[in-house]
Chain A
């Protein structure tokens, strides 16, 4: 019996690999981090000392604070500090800056820490948020 000899079917070739179907989230959250601290024009003083008294001391020492300016351009700093019962500055820190000039910012904080405010009329501490423009 003659058997029909059919051409052997070609060995199945490996199908070209499908492109990897890495599941991509349709709306994947973006990578990175972003944020900032706003600077308003108005200072805020919370505690037993009037805003005017804080302003008077800062005005009186404005030249010292501004003498720190070593940045090549103008900017704004947002200072945050605590006035203790005896009028001394505690915990001065920089909340925000458009200057981004560490040497200037450190100098301002050092000068700020040396300021003497009037003693508080009530309470143990006053919290101050103060914007400072550096020309």
Chain B
């Protein structure tokens, strides 16, 4: 079976590589030394770049019948290793469950840089789709 055939038969998310975890970034500053300690997480540019890198693949998700546009909202938790640890569809915007799950699976493949928030970083992602 060719790679192309594999791609054609696969779920849209399977077109994307599975991100590899990276070592978490330690928080700098020593509170015992009286230093201010604060995790900074990822920047908007980093988050945007990671999401932009995968979102077009979600267009391979089967268009819900009878809809010209859908607006979905996801909450992603990005672990400090840069891997998405949870994707929750908080608003399906009228789209069927299967469609929301397909786009969510694509978002799970977003490859973020490692960061310094040990409990993960929450990203709200409103997704607008039109056909």
Q: Give 18 CB contacts A-B under 8 Å.
A: A27-B4, A30-B59, A32-B129, A33-B59, A34-B58, A34-B127, A34-B128, A35-B128, A36-B55, A36-B126, A38-B44, A38-B51, A39-B124, A39-B125, A40-B124, A42-B40, A75-B73, A100-B126
Contact of A129 among B4, B7, B40, B44 (CB under 8 A): B44
Q: A34-B128, A41-B122 are in contact. List 17 more A-B contacts (CB 8 A).
A: A26-B4, A29-B59, A31-B59, A32-B59, A32-B63, A32-B130, A33-B59, A35-B52, A35-B128, A36-B51, A37-B48, A38-B124, A42-B40, A76-B124, A98-B73, A98-B91, A100-B93
A44 at the interface (CB under 8 A from B): yes
Interface size on A, residues (CB 8 A): 24
For the complex of A and B, the 7 pairs showing the least CB-CB separation, nearest first, are A30-B59, A39-B124, A32-B131, A36-B127, A98-B73, A34-B129, A38-B47
A101 to chain B, nearest CB (A): 11
Q: Is B27 interfacial (CB 8 A cutoff)?
A: no
Question: Interface residues, chain A, CB within 8 Å of chain B?
Answer: 26-27, 29-42, 44, 75-76, 96-98, 100, 129
